[in-house]
Amino acid sequence: MSTYGSFPGTRPRRLRTTPVMRRMVAETRLHPADLILPAFVREGVSEPVPIAAMPGVVQHTRDTLKKAAAEAVEAGVSGIMLFGVPEDEKKDAAGTAGTDPDGILQVALRDVRAEVGDELLVMSDLCLDEFTDHGHCGVLDAQGRVDNDATLERYAEMAQVQADAGAHVVGPSGMMDGQVGVVRDALDQIGREDVAILAYTVKYASAFYGPFREAVGSSLKGDRKTYQQDAANVRDAMRELALDLEEGADMVMVKPAGPYLDILARVAEAVDVPVAAYQISGEYSMIEAAAEKGWIDRDRAILEALTGVKRAGARNILTYWATEVARTLR
């Protein structure tokens, strides 16, 4: 009993007393429709290939990718973002496998659309890094630098073949100046005004991409600091945002998610288009590794991390746990 009369009269703990009370007053709610599943499909394999750095994630065969897409639909996930992994001998300096109508990504897009139709948003990563022998997101000039404008020509062609293959949404992720405008024009020129652009608007040059490099069989030597953004900068992110919106982005993305929640909140506050965030491979792998060691409660940590991303302002979240979490939420 307090010796100070009725103090404290206001007791916030009253709203935390039971699970039902906490659920009723929750300000942020995750929903299966918030989630997008990134998925890798590898050319020339007959069985899924486990990704050592991402326990539980695989490079799919065409058949297992279709199964994963159907499972995502059943769980209530909104979208699937596809990444193609070609055979090494098909990589070249221009990334031509990325614009081949019969390349692995385009084949996978047709497969998934045939499997799920319009029940799942079929999205495609629009970038050259999986398809180039040097591993960069664009073509190189004579000095070995990424040639921005020559790369835009390749992105325009990629957008058109991905749309023809069935993509509902394309995601230009290479961080080339002008990429959104060029992709929009390329799509409109072939009468595909219906295909939306999810712009990788804020994409930082992050150490947390490490496991992804294994996932896509990256050939990269060096880094991408001349085109991805510097972790120290905020104004740069907001400038990219303004440019992408001006060029016609339908949705915008912040990547990575967890280390950049402040940027995500700034972007979400500034725009009236949907905002996505990509919980990237390193974020996934850290939780899985710590859980495997018994250091954290895996399921609680996953939901807490995703809730933090949603609370910061993401309307949609790309996460490798999308189907699993959607099932839990349902």
- Classify 270 as helix, strand or coil: helix
Q: What are phi and psi of 169, to 5 degrees?
A: -140, 135
* Inter-residue contact 36 to 251 (CB < 8 Å): no
Catalytic option among 90, 91, 221, 255: 255
Give whole-number Cα distances, 297 to 149, 305, 310, 327, in Å. 47, 12, 20, 18
Give whole-number Cα distances, 178 to 40, 181, 239, in Å. 27, 6, 12
Quick one: tokens of 76?
């209530």
* Inter-residue contact 165 to 159 (CB < 8 Å): no
Catalytic option among 90, 203, 221, 293: 203
255: annotated active-site residue: yes
Distance of CA 8 to the CA centre of its chain: 46
CA angle 160, 80, 194 (to 5 degrees): 40
Q: Are strands 35-42 and 79-85 parallel, antiparallel or unpaired?
A: parallel
Spatial separation of the C-alpha atoms in residues 105 and 188, rounded to whole Å? 21
The DSSP element (H or E) to which 121 belongs, if any, is strand 121-126
Provide the 10 A C-beta neighbour count for residue 246.
10
Beta bridge partners of 275: 252
Which residues are designated catalytic?
203, 255
